[in-house]
């Protein structure tokens, strides 16, 4: 009772090009994500939480489909409101527009009296069972927004190479002032940024992009009791600043093949003890099966041997074989073995036989495009969609 429930990096409305319901237009994989957010809300209701905080990226982009917004409204926002649970939503890099004047799907929830949406830094206080809680909220700001902030504070144009350093100094000063300027029994920071030193997962769909604004540990005020971050999808403790641990909630589901072994969940904070804990959520299994067919081996038999039980799992089968072996594969048997999977994709990597005096290359645009995607985006969650749309464009252009 009286807990603070914190969840981050939900990415409602994320597109997947398979298992799509023709009525709603939603992929069953997108519903996996929503089910886990609903589980977090149900936990908050059952535990009679006082505050429900989303530390960024509730949505996968600034504007998502009406059905995605409706699912959040129906299963999360309204039930929490009926139970008297306050909801705070921080804008993340995915659902924060580059232009601060533009609206987003987050605005849909501003009309609820128990919901607060934060697109700019703010401080909020509340009392939970007689305990005074002070929260500093630091939603994501894009580089151009940081530049505008620096210009506003300095009253002059700042050279490009100094913008981020100046931005860090301004935010650090603001954080220190807010953390030490009030008396509270519990002081918390909720933010959506990359904190230098945080561990990033391996994957082709990075949370953190080159050149984006980041924070340093030195910027975290020592007066805090806990700092909770969103943005990085791995749940982790980054370190400590003074008495405050610095923690990432991680995402609620495995959104990228680089996350296939990660534990996913949310955090709870007990205001009385100032203790936090991680609550794990169930995730769909992701199986990446890599098979190399040796010379003289039966390719079908070798592939079948490598495929474990796949019921309900997301499967990516990657087969490497020599030139001429692909024609010997019994596709029907492979498909039969994989049919229990939630979804599967098979890619074939044929090793060309070197031919003396002849360079092995192709000018076929379809092969070149396929090779480019395989080389640069092998683990992208929308890889199949990229291939499909790219081929369609090529067919239209090339004929």
The count of other CB atoms within 10 Å of the CB of residue 14 is: 22
List, for residues 172-188, the tens digit of each pLDDT value: 999 999 999 878 999 99
pTM of the model: 0.85
Averaged pLDDT for residues 185-212 = 85
List, for residues 154-165, the tens digit of each pLDDT value: 888 788 778 899
Identify the pLDDT of residue 33.
97
Identify the pLDDT of residue 359.
43
List, for residues 54-104, the tens digit of each pLDDT value: 999 999 999 999 999 999 999 999 999 999 999 999 999 999 998 877 889
Say whether pLDDT at 362 is over 60: no
Averaged pLDDT for residues 189-208 = 85
DSSP 8-state code for residue 37: H
The structural domains of the chain, ordered by start, are: 4-281 (3.60.21.10), 286-398 (no CATH)
């Amino acid at each position: 009772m009286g807990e603070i429930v914190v969840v981050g990096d939900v990415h409602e409305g994320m597109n997947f090009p398979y298992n799509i319901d023709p009525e709603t237009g939603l992929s069953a994989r997108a519903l996996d994500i929503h089910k886990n957010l609903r589980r977090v809300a149900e936990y908050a209701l059952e535990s009679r939480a006082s505050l429900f905080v989303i530390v960024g990226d509730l949505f996968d982009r600034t504007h998502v489909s009406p059905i995605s917004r409706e699912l959040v409204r129906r299963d999360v926002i309204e039930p929490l409101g009926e139970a008297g649970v306050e909801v705070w939503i921080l804008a993340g890099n995915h659902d924060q527009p580059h232009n601060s004047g533009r609206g987003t799907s987050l605005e849909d929830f501003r009309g609820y009296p128990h919901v607060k949406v934060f697109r700019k830094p703010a401080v909020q206080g509340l009392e939970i069972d007689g305990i005074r809680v002070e929260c500093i909220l630091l939603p994501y700001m894009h580089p151009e927004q940081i530049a505008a902030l620096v210009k506003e504070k300095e009253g002059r144009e700042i050279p490009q190479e100094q913008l981020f350093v100046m931005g860090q100094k301004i935010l650090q000063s603001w954080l220190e002032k807010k953390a030490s300027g009030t008396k509270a029994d519990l002081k918390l920071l909720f933010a959506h940024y990359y904190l230098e030193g945080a561990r990033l997962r391996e994957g082709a769909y990075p949370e953190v992009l080159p050149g984006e604004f980041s924070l340093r540990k030195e910027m975290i005020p020592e007066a805090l009791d806990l700092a909770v971050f969103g943005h990085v999808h791995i749940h982790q403790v980054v370190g400590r600043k003074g008495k405050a641990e610095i923690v990432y909630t991680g995402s609620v589901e495995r959104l990228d093949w680089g996350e296939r072994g990660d534990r996913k969940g949310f955090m709870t904070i007990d205001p009385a003890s100032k203790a936090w804990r991680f609550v794990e959520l169930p995730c769909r299994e992701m199986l990446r099966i890599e098979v190399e067919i040796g010379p003289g081996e039966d390719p079908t038999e070798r592939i079948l041997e490598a495929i474990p039980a796949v019921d309900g799992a997301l499967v990516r089968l990657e087969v490497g074989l020599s030139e001429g072996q692909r024609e010997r594969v019994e596709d029907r048997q492979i498909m039969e073995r994989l049919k229990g999977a939630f979804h599967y994709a098979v890619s074939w990597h044929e090793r060309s036989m070197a031919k003396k005096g002849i360079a092995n290359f192709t000018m076929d645009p379809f092969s070149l495009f396929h090779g480019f995607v395989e080389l640069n985006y092998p683990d992208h969650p929308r890889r199949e969609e990229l291939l499909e749309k790219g081929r369609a464009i090529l067919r239209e252009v090339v004929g």
